[in-house]
Structure formats: structure tokens, C-alpha cells
Structure 1
Amino acid sequence: MPIHYPNGNLYARAAQSSGGSQPARKITNKPTIYGGRGMTLEDELNASNAYYLQIGKAVVHKKPTPIQIVRVDYPARSKAVIKEGYFKTPSTTDYNGVYRGYYIDFEAKETKNKASFPLKNFHQHQIDHMRACLLQGGVCFVVMRFAVLHRLFVYPASPVISAWDAAQVQKARKSITLPEIEQHGFEVKPQLSPAVPYLDGVDWLIAKKEGAARGE
């Protein structure tokens, strides 16, 4: 089914992957570090959220993207096949929910780069959304995966926004270096269940938030 963005451009999953958002993982003979073999970062996060929900630890879901259906075929009386549709509005971030009484909102991004994380993986409306969530006291971040390095980070939204603003206004570098991510982020160690224990990083963010509120 062809699906289009609000500007009329055709949405293509392959093109999206090549842009660095969620590229397919390269298959190698090395042991798989992550819990879900052959799973994308999105798949692993969805499975992790299902696990967190099952054990009563957090309620987090992937946000559905509204699609306007414009053409439907009816090959049989009891069947309807969607042939064409459009994304109604640009998406915000990938996931949101509640954890420890906090609203959490985050984006999941992946890159094949080894030395830095390209800002082109983000869009202005996502930056604006994260900025708005922070203003309301939410816990907002990005789950970043360096696919080639097999490294995964929970990275706060604030430095992402700062880097984006600098790149737009001051024409600064258009990426966040790995040393910056190591310094200001929280490295997550994948495991069996959940495959992506990103709530460990959220605990770290909440501790920082609560410490700042106490003036520490």
C-alpha cells in the first residue's frame, strides 16, 4: 500500500533506513549482543515495553501515526484492501508513557556511524515536541544505538536540542560526537529480558532531575 507524507512525497521504508533512522542490522558471524535476534531497535523496544507492562513496572507504548485512507479496493464482499493512504500529520516522537509517576517521552534512533550521531536523523517537529515536553516537566530523551559498535545509550533531550539549535543558527557541526554522548548520556547494557533495559537510563535521568530540584 503506498503511503504518503503530508507534503505528498511517497513514504518508503527502505529510503528511511538509508537516512540513518532505523537501518537494517548487518548480519555477521559474531554472537548477537542484543536480546532479540534479527530484531530492529523498534522491535526490541516494543518487546521491552511489553515486558515492563507485564511485570507492572511502566506503561509505555509506541505512538500510532494517523493515516488518512484515500483508496480502498473490495476484492470480495467480506474483504477490504487499502491501496493508498497518507500520513495526516508529521509524527512527534516514537514513544510515550508513565514511569514512577513521571511522564516519559522519547525517540528511538540508530546509526551506522562509529564516531558521531548525525543530527539529520531528527526533524524540526520532533525537536519542537521534545522542547515542549521538557517545559512541562516531562522526562524526555533519545534511545541511541550505534549499530556497528553494538552500543546503546539513553541520551537526554536537552543536549540534543542544544546541538540542533546550534547547527541551525550558528552553523555548528551537524552531529553529536560519541565522546559527548559518553559524557552526557547513560550507556545501556542489553540483556535477555528486557532486550533494551532503557528504564535503567530513565532512573538515572530522574535522579538527576530530582537532584536538580533539591539544588544538588
Structure 2
Amino acid sequence: MTIRYPNGKKYTPVQTTKRQNLKNLSFSNRGKTLEDELNESNEFYLSRDIAVIHKKPIPVQIVKVSYPARSAARITEAYFGAPSTTDYNGVWKGTYIDFEAKETKTKTSFPLSNIHEHQIQHMKNVTKQNGTAFLIVKFSTLDRYFVVPYDVVESKWERMKTGGRKSITLAEFEETSIEIKPGYIPRLDYLKALNGIMESANEKIER
């Protein structure tokens, strides 16, 4: 099947060697991806009536379909329908929340190239409507997780646009974000961390 981006460019999966595949398999055996961990945590929240949060589906426009048999159809060409916004959204305590989840293998910083301009704009629009937008970043090599408020992401993004560094350092995460300590059930209790961020924001408003 051929899948194309909205501009018509063909989507080509990254090719890996046998050695790379074995390496990836070994890595996956050591732990699940951030997406897996978040999906399981969201299922826990839903089952306990804590929150309703889901991963957004990727919009795909089907262009060509072949029918090798009357009882079977096969998609042969499709396009990503539109640039994706963020990974997850939902409702918690009457508040709309919207966030992007990212992983990095670097040990000292998170490259801002992992985020797109339209995602920054989307999170900005969410906050304008009194929603809560943020990032969840996993330093996979260090097994450390951070909930990053949108205002922090925006400030580092603007710094980059004015010629500053093109990443957020680990030290900056430690200073401006809330770290999530992985547990058992749920694996990532990111709403607990988010609660701390929202309480801090409310205190600033009251002052």
C-alpha cells in the first residue's frame, strides 16, 4: 500500500538492518514505549472514573482500493489527511486536556526539532480556550519522565526562534517541569503531576 503526505510526497518507512532490528527487539524487551505506558495509564483512569483520555486517530484519506476478490478489498494508496495536532486529548475534573508525548534517547537535552510549529500553535489555541496543554517527555536511556507545562514549551520555542539553543536541557526540565516516577498501577500517574502544575498556576493567579 502507498501512503502519501498532504503535499503528495510518498511516505517511506525507515529501513533497518538485521542488527538494528535485533537491537530494537532487545530494547523493547527492557520496557514498553511511552505510548504503551500512556495507553495503559489512560485505561486505568477510565476504569476508575478518574478521567476520559484517548489517543487521537491519525487521519488517513483512502485514494485507491483494489478488489482481488468479491469478498475482499485491499487499500493500495492513501494519504495522511492533514497534519496531526497532538497525541492525546480528553476531559479530567471538568477540564479539557491536550498533550503531546515524546521520547528521546539523548541523556542531556530534548531537541525541539521533535515538535512541529502547528503543534505549538494548537497547544496555544487550547490554552486560549482555558484548556490545559502540555508535553510528556521521556528520556528513554535514563528512564525519566517529565510533564512540561505549555508555557515552558512556548518560552523555549520562542528562544529557539530568536537564535537561542534548539533544545531544552535536562537541567531545565528539572527546574521548570514535574518529574513522574513510574509505578505499577498506573504505570505513569501523570495526572497527579498535572494537578501540581494546575495548583501552582492557580496560586499565581490568586496573588
TM-score scaled by length of structure 2: 0.89
| 1:100-124 CA-partner distances (Å, limit 9, x unpaired) | 1111110000001111100000000
Higher Rg of the two aligned structures: 2
* Separation of aligned partners in 2, 1:79 and 1:120: 41
* Separation of aligned partners in 1, 2:11 and 2:194: 32
| 1:53-83 CA-partner distances (Å, limit 9, x unpaired) | 0110000011112111011122222222112
Q: Which residue of 1 aligns with 2:77?
A: 84
* Separation of aligned partners in 1, 2:135 and 2:83: 18
The yes-or-no answer on 1:212 pairing with 2:204 is: yes
Aligned to 2:14, what secondary structure does the other structure show? helix
Aligned to 2:106, what secondary structure does the other structure show? coil
* Separation of aligned partners in 1, 2:111 and 2:25: 18
State how 1:31-42 maps to structure 2 within 5 Å: 32=30, 37=31, 39-42=32-35
Aligned to 2:65, what secondary structure does the other structure show? strand
State how 1:93-108 maps to structure 2 within 5 Å: 93-108=86-101
The yes-or-no answer on 1:7 pairing with 2:7 is: yes
Q: Which residue of 2 aligns with 1:150?
A: 143
What is the deviation of 1:27? Answer: 2.1
Q: Which runs of 5+ in 1 are unaligned?
A: 16-23
Residues 104 and 26 of structure 1: CA distance in aligned 2, closer, same or farther (over 3 Å): farther
Q: Which residue of 1 aligns with 2:163?
A: 171
Q: Which has the higher contact order (CA 8 A, sep 6+)?
A: 1
| 1:133-161 CA-partner distances (Å, limit 9, x unpaired) | 11111111100000111101101111111
Percent of paired sites with the same residue: 49
The one of 49, 53, 62 aligned to 2:55: 62
Q: Which residue of 2 aligns with 1:190?
A: 182
Q: Which residue of 2 aligns with 1:20?
A: none
The yes-or-no answer on 1:129 pairing with 2:129 is: no
* Separation of aligned partners in 2, 1:85 and 1:97: 28
Residues 132 and 58 of structure 1: CA distance in aligned 2, closer, same or farther (over 3 Å): same
Code of the residue aligned with 1:115 in structure 2: it is T
The one of 183, 191, 206 aligned to 1:199: 191
Aligned to 1:27, what secondary structure does the other structure show? helix
Q: Which residue of 2 aligns with 1:19?
A: none
Residues 13 and 161 of structure 1: CA distance in aligned 2, closer, same or farther (over 3 Å): farther
The structure where helix makes up a greater share of residues is 2
* Separation of aligned partners in 1, 2:96 and 2:3: 31
Check conservation: 1:74, 1:81, Cα contact below 8 A. Answer: yes
* Separation of aligned partners in 2, 1:28 and 1:75: 36
Q: CA RMSD in A?
A: 1.9
